[in-house]
């Protein structure tokens, strides 16, 4: 067995891979945040709560309607996305003319309400959710046993991130979206329904969070606090990647997952802090984040 | 992010005719407040009131930034919490007297404020909020790991140090007068700062930073100084709370504490003189008396956030002031 | 065993809400001070809501309903949420003693909060019966003449799970440990019992607490080390996540998972398919014997379809014994001097349907047996909440930490 820095090679590869899997969740969550921030200029503090809702909706679909994982993967984002649509139309849209900080405060309050209500209803020890039968078991990669489900998470996250990037960078819809980010009144003057686009963007970002929630349900405890334990790291990812940068959030998400994974090998006590250390360094050298434009 | 010129935080404007920087109405309100601070402990539970006053100090410090400079910090818990740790630690392990321990708490807050401010001050709006939030998270993790904070248990059984080394603070009422004195001192100090020439420049920066710059003001320096003053007072508030309850814990540096102070100021009225005090009172009372209903505290807090932001942006005091056409 | 069902709950509930609502008002003159007031202080909204929370309150009320009226005592039960914050907990305790005339505080999960409440109770000479917190400091360095420790602590968990598992063949261990006092203490003591029983500790991973959701790296390291038992030195959501991910990575059957602190609501949350084969220790299980089943039958209407764990049931036992002591020395004397009640509680042997007969040591530790359980497979389970197989019983004499010379109470 060969070793790298005193750590057996196979173990190191295993940890790198696991870091990548965690990175997949960071990437998907920060992607949604970045999309929303790009167009609405709102830091969606409710993102963690909506991620949690995604997982809970999957659980409800299974327990109240007997709908399994694969359909939940489609339905939960739609349901939570629709909820986001309602939120945007009834609450958030009232704030666009005001300072953007109000958007932050509003979504912060929404997160408290949503998490509190779920805690009241479902307690906090969490709900059981099984891995779908098709993805149970593990594959021997030579250096580690990779649970099939984890492999699926990475693949799914990569596909989703790539699709979102293509949608925004390569399609006409994406072009309009980017144009509206630059100059909304002008795009409106060209006959594009900008408010509707904004609404759909918010719903889309929220649906991404919910999708991540469904993917997380079988491996993490489905409980009302699951979002808040993720969201701080994800905010750090967004700040490091450069706020509003889609490619930045995806790359930083995966990258930080790997860095965190490596820290778990060499100095596990610091694995939660390392993200913030990276952030401090980035802020000192590139205040706009790695991929951000100067504000 | 557009330039700060479009900043439209709902802020009550002060009218020009003033006595020591107070309009007659404000002077009356101030007298009422002083009277309330002096007489309520004979009616209400003093420990509860001390908690309110500590948070009122904290909220006033926060209001100095958001109300008069237009900066929303999401990391004020770092100053409050570190202040509380340092006060508790020095009072317990060095046996410092109350005023020195609290002062050290304030200095600690200011010290961290220098670092935070230096890193964050050049950014505006949401960027500023996010950077302060992230930095505060680092402070939180340091507190979690560092041996001197006692980790999860915090620093417990902190003695109520003697004032000036010989006045006992053991009785709740003695402690109350110290807290009340500190609160009034910093309340007046903040008012004095806001109405000084320095404060006028701050307001100019808030209203239109490019114009202030073009008039020759080094706006970043002004903002940084305001930030440091705010973090100093936040540290004092945290230190005082640690002495009152004899305990300093992770609660005080946690991210939710930053959110709580935003809630207090928002609910009371951004940029109003008395708003933060009223906000602190309402939020603390709510927490105290909703404690038996469990998670409903969180739900209620969240709902208040939402309602304030949507329909009530001037806050309680701002709204009353607007109805009566007065600056409170 | 038939006893009257709780009938006074409605009136008690009403009484419980009054004092808090009136808490802002001036100190009121109270009639004769004969009403004993018990405050249940625990987590109603956070991670320990399901393992303590309302069910602890319900069990406390049950003890009051069964005992108080027959002895002519009037007893109120209050409750509050300490949000797992020591300052909030200490603040509520102070207010309860100063304003609301509370005489005894019950439960208090989370060691940091329990220690804070411990010092307030001592300062005010009231009674603190701990059922929820695990720290051994309450009967060690910080032991107090006003405090009794019920139900469980880290030492007892480590003794039962660590010692007995090695005996049944699980002789090589790997620990996953939460990086805070509780986690370290739990790992350290368990490791001691493992080595004492001729077992071996192959390694450990310490992870940041709170804030870790993914444990797969540590599980992988444990697998690489080739240990037979994975010891989880953590609690609550972290343990649930670990077990879930251990199942995912297929650690069983090569490796057994020992959750050093886990109780029945967590097992319920995981589901038997995931939790099967898990080793854990409790000092109470509803289906243990006739007395525990009788207790559960009486408590059932108040539990709302759930099942009490050792902590919640411990609130019943603690309250019952407290009320016996109060009845013994009289309500007025009990209100005046908390330490006197505690001294009386130590002098009397305990006996209740939850823990059976037992006694309280000079340092305040209740001595009852502890039980090592294995979680059933879905096929073995015969109905809802039928979750445990009993593997080993540790007698009261061996189940608890020997008296800590650091406790000033035992020197005298």
CB contact under 8 A, A106 and B310: yes
Residues B125-139: what's their mean pLDDT? 84
Q: How far is A178 from chain C (nearest CA, A)?
A: 35
pLDDT above 90 coverage of chain A, percent: 33
Q: List, for residues B95-118, the tens digit of each pLDDT value.
A: 888 889 999 999 999 999 999 998
Q: List, for residues C353-401, the tens digit of each pLDDT value.
A: 999 999 999 999 999 999 999 999 999 999 889 999 999 999 999 999 9
On the question of pLDDT at A154 being above 60, the answer is yes
CB contact under 8 A, B247 and C23: no
CA distances from C324 to B67, C66, C351, C353 (A): 58, 11, 10, 15
Cα C269 from Cα C247, distance rounded (Å): 14
B306 vs A: CB within 8 A: yes
On the question of pLDDT at C15 being above 50, the answer is no
Residues C92 and C30 in one domain: yes
Residue among B45, B283, B300 with most chain C CBs within 10 A, to mutate = B45
Residues C235 and C276 in one domain: yes
Residues C77 and C147 in one domain: yes
Residues A59-79: what's their mean pLDDT? 92
Count of other CB atoms within 10 angstroms of residue C190: 29
In chain C the first and final C-alpha atoms are separated, in Å, by 41
A295 vs B: CB within 8 A: yes
On the question of pLDDT at A290 being above 80, the answer is yes
Highest mean pLDDT of the ranges A96-110, B19-33, C276-290: C276-290
A22 vs C: CB within 8 A: yes
Task: Please say whether the dihedral angle defined by the alpha carbons of residues A291, A293, A294 and B4, taken in this order, is positive or negative.
Answer: negative
Higher pLDDT, C18 or A292: A292
Residue-level pLDDT at C30? 39
Instruction: Kindly list the structural domains of chain A, giving each domain's residue range(s) and its CATH number in brackets, ordered by start.
Output: 3-285 (1.10.3470)
Residue among A37, A86, A109, A230 with most chain B CBs within 10 A, to mutate = A109
Residues C230 and C376 in one domain: yes
What are the residues facing C282 on neighbouring strands?
Answer: C371
Structural domain including C194 reads: 155-282+370-398
Cα A128 from Cα C214, distance rounded (Å): 17
Residue-level pLDDT at A278? 87
Q: Are strands C356-360 and C350-352 parallel, antiparallel or unpaired?
A: antiparallel
CB B158 within 8 A of CB B88: yes
Cβ-based contacts of A69 with chain C (< 8 Å): none
Q: What is the CATH number of the domain that holds C187?
A: 3.40.50.2300
A39 vs B: CB within 8 A: no
Residues C252 and C116 in one domain: no
CB contact under 8 A, C119 and B153: no
CB contact under 8 A, C244 and A221: yes
Higher pLDDT, C188 or B42: C188
Q: Is C89 among the domain residues?
A: yes
Residues C184 and C78 in one domain: no
Q: Is C45 among the domain residues?
A: yes
Q: Is C4 among the domain residues?
A: no
Three-class DSSP labels, chain A: CCEECCEEHHHHHHHHHHHHHHHHHHHHHHHHHHHHHHHHCCCCCCHHHHHHHHHHHHHHHHHHHCCCHHHHHHHHHHHHHHHHHHHHHHCHHHHCCCCHHHHHHHHHHHHHHHHHHHHHHHCCCCECCCCCHHHCCEEECCCCEEEHHHHHHHHHHHHHHHHHHHHHHHCHHHHHHHHHHHCHHHHHHCCCCHHHHHHHHHHHHHHHHHHHHHHHCCCCCECCCHHHHHHHHHHHHHHHHCCCCHHHHHHHHHHHHHHHHHHHHHCHHHCCCHHHHHHHHHHHHCCCCCCCCCC
Residues C86 and C207 in one domain: no
Angle at C71 between CA C65 and CA C75, to 5 degrees: 50
Q: List, for residues C296-311, the tens digit of each pLDDT value.
A: 999 999 998 899 999 9
Residue-level pLDDT at C412? 54
Q: Is C183 among the domain residues?
A: yes
Three-class DSSP labels, chain B: CCCHHHCCCCCCCCCCCCECCECHHHHHHHHHHHHHHHHHHHCCCHHHHHHHHHHHHHHHHHHHHHHHCCCCCCCCHHHHHHHHHHHHHHHHHHCCCHHHHHHHHHHHHHHHHHHHHHHHCCCCHHHHHHHHHHHHHHHHHHHHHCHHHCHHHCECCCCCCCECCCECCCCHHHHHHHHHHHHHHHHHHHHHHHCCHHHHHHHHHHHCHHHHHHCCCCHHHHHHHHHHHHHHHHHHHHHHHHHHHCCECHHHCCHHHHHHHHHHHHHHCCCCCCHHHHHHHHHHHHHHHHHHHCCHHHHHHHHHHHHHHHHCCCHHHHHHHHHHCCCC
Higher pLDDT, B123 or A94: A94
On the question of pLDDT at C185 being above 80, the answer is yes
Restricting to C residues 205-244, those with a Cβ less than 8 Å away from any Cβ of A are 205-208, 210-214, 216-218, 220-221, 223-224, 236-237, 240-241, 244
C98 vs B: CB within 8 A: yes
Cβ-based contacts of B48 with chain C (< 8 Å): 24, 95
Restricting to B residues 25-64, those with a Cβ less than 8 Å away from any Cβ of C are 43-45, 47-48, 51
On the question of pLDDT at B17 being above 70, the answer is no
Q: List, for residues B220-250, the tens digit of each pLDDT value.
A: 899 999 999 999 999 999 999 999 988 998 8
Q: What is the pTM of this model?
A: 0.83
On the question of pLDDT at B2 being above 50, the answer is no
CB C322 within 8 A of CB C104: yes
Number of domains in chain C: 2
- Facing residue for B294 by CB, picked from C16, C44, C116: C44
Residues C300 and C173 in one domain: no
Q: List, for residues C207-252, the tens digit of each pLDDT value.
A: 887 777 888 888 888 888 889 999 999 988 889 889 988 888 888 7
Confidence of residue A1 (pLDDT cuts 50, 70, 90): very low
Q: List, for residues B178-193, the tens digit of each pLDDT value.
A: 999 999 999 999 989 9
C216 vs B: CB within 8 A: no
Residues C62 and C163 in one domain: no
Q: How far is C104 from chain A (nearest CA, A)?
A: 27
Cα C230 from Cα B327, distance rounded (Å): 65
Dmax (CA) of chain A: 66
Higher pLDDT, B271 or A124: B271
Cα B124 from Cα B132, distance rounded (Å): 11
Residues C91 and C189 in one domain: no
CB contact under 8 A, B309 and A113: no
Residues C332 and C357 in one domain: yes
Spatial neighbors of C323 by CB under 8 A, at least 6 apart, are C36, C63, C64, C67, C68, C71, C73, C75
**Rg, C-alpha atoms of chain C:** 21
Give residue limits of the domains in chain B: 46-253
C252 vs A: CB within 8 A: no
pLDDT above 70 coverage of chain C, percent: 92
Residues B272-284: what's their mean pLDDT? 92
Residues C271 and C160 in one domain: yes
Q: List, for residues C90-139, the tens digit of each pLDDT value.
A: 989 999 999 899 999 999 998 889 999 999 999 999 999 999 999 999 99
């Amino acid at each position: 067995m060969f070793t790298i820095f005193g750590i057996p090679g196979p173990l190191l590869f295993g940890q790198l891979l696991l870091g990548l899997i965690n990175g997949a969740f960071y990437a998907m969550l920060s992607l949604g945040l970045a999309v929303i921030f790009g167009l609405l200029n709102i830091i969606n503090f409710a993102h963690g709560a909506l991620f949690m809702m995604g997982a809970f909706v999957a659980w409800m679909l299974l327990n109240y309607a007997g709908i399994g994982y694969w359909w939940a993967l489609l339905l939960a984002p739609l349901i939570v996305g629709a909820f986001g649509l309602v939120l945007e139309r009834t609450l958030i849209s009232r704030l666009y003319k005001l300072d953007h900080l109000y958007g932050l405060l509003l979504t912060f309050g929404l997160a408290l309400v949503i998490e509190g209500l779920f805690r009241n209803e479902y307690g906090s020890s969490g709900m059981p959710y099984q891995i779908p039968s098709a993805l149970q078991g593990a594959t021997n990669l030579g250096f580690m046993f990779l649970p099939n489900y984890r492999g699926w998470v990475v693949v799914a996250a990569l596909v989703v991130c790539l699709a979102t990037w293509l949608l925004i960078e390569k399609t006409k819809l994406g072009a309009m979206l980017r144009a509206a980010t630059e100059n909304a009144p002008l795009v409106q003057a060209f006959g594009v329904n900008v408010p509707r686009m904004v609404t759909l963007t918010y719903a889309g970002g929220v649906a991404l969070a919910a999708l991540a929630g469904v993917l997380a349900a079988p491996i993490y405890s489905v409980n009302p606090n699951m979002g808040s334990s993720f969201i701080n790291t994800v905010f750090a990812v967004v700040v490091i990647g450069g706020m509003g940068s889609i490619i930045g959030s995806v790359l930083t998400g995966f990258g930080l997952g790997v860095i965190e994974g490596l820290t778990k090998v060499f100095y596990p006590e610091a694995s939660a802090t390392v993200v913030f250390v990276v952030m401090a360094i980035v802020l000192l050298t590139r205040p706009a984040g790695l991929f951000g434009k100067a504000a | 992010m557009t330039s700060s010129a479009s900043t439209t935080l709902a802020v009550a404007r002060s009218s020009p005719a003033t006595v020591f920087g107070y309009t007659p109405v404000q002077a009356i309100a101030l007298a009422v407040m002083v009277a309330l601070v002096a007489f309520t402990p004979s009616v209400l539970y003093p420990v509860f009131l001390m908690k309110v006053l500590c948070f009122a100090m904290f909220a006033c410090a926060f209001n100095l930034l958001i109300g008069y400079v237009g900066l929303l910090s999401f990391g004020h818990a770092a100053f409050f919490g570190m202040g509380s740790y340092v006060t508790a630690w020095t009072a317990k392990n060095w046996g410092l007297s109350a005023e020195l321990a609290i002062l050290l708490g304030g200095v600690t807050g200011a010290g961290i404020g220098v670092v935070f401010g230096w890193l964050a001050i050049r950014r505006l709006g949401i960027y500023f909020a996010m950077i302060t939030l992230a930095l505060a998270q680092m402070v939180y993790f340091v507190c979690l790991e560092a041996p001197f904070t006692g980790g999860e248990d915090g620093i417990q059984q902190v003695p109520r140090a003697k004032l000036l080394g010989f006045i006992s603070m053991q009785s709740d009422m003695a402690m109350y007068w110290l807290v009340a004195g500190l609160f009034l001192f910093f309340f007046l100090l903040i008012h004095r700062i806001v109405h000084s020439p320095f404060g006028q420049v701050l307001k100019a920066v808030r209203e239109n930073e490019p114009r202030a710059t073009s008039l020759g003001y080094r706006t970043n320096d002004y903002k940084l100084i305001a930030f440091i003053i705010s973090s100093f007072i936040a540290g004092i508030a945290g230190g005082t709370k640690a002495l009152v309850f004899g305990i300093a814990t992770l609660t005080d540096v946690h991210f939710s504490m930053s959110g709580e102070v935003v809630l207090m100021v928002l609910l009371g009225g951004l940029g109003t003189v008395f708003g933060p005090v009223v906000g602190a009172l309402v939020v603390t009372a709510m927490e105290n008396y909703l404690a038996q209903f469990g998670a409903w505290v969180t739900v209620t807090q969240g709902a208040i956030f939402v309602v304030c932001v949507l329909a009530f942006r001037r806050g309680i005091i701002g709204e009353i002031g607007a109805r009566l056409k007065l600056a409170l | 065993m038939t006893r009257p069902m709780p009938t006074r709950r409605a009136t008690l509930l009403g009484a419980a809400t009054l004092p808090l609502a009136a808490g802002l008002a001036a100190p009121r003159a109270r009639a004769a001070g004969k009403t004993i007031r018990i405050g249940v202080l625990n987590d109603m909204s956070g991670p320990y809501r399901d393992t303590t929370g309302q069910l602890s309150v319900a069990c406390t009320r049950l003890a009051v309903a069964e005992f108080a009226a027959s002895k002519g005592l009037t007893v109120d039960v209050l409750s509050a949420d300490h949000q797992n914050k020591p300052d909030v907990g200490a603040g509520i305790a102070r207010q309860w003693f100063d304003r609301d005339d509370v005489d005894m505080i019950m439960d208090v999960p989370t060691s940091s909060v329990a220690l804070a409440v411990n010092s307030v109770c001592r300062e005010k000479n009231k009674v603190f019966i701990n059922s929820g917190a695990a720290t051994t400091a309450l009967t060690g360095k910080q032991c107090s003449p006003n405090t009794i420790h019920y139900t469980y602590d880290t030492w007892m968990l480590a003794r039962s799970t660590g010692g007995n598992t090695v005996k049944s063949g699980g002789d090589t261990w790997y620990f996953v440990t939460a990086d805070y006092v509780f986690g370290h203490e739990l790992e350290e003591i368990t490791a001691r019992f493992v080595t004492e029983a001729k077992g071996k500790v192959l390694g450990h991973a310490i992870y940041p607490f709170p804030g870790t959701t993914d444990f797969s790296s540590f599980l992988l390291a444990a697998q690489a080390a080739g240990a037979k038992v994975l010891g989880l030195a953590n609690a609550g959501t972290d343990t649930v996540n670990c077990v879930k991910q251990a199942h995912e990575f297929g650690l069983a059957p090569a490796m057994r998972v020992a959750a050093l602190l886990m109780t029945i609501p967590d097992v319920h949350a995981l589901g038997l398919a995931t939790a099967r084969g898990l080793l854990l220790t409790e000092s109470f299980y509803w289906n243990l014997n006739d007395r525990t089943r009788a207790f559960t039958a009486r408590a059932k209407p108040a539990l709302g379809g759930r099942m009490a764990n050792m902590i919640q049931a411990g609130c019943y036992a603690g309250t019952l014994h407290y009320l016996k002591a109060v009845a013994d020395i009289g309500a007025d004397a009990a209100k005046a001097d908390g330490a006197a009640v505690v001294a009386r509680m130590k002098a009397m042997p305990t006996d209740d349907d939850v823990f059976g007969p037992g006694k309280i040591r000079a340092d305040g530790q209740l001595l009852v047996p502890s039980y090592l359980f294995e979680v059933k497979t879905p096929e073995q389970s015969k109905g809802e909440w039928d979750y445990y197989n009993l593997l080993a019983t540790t007698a009261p004499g061996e189940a608890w930490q020997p008296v800590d010379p650091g406790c000033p109470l035992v020197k005298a």
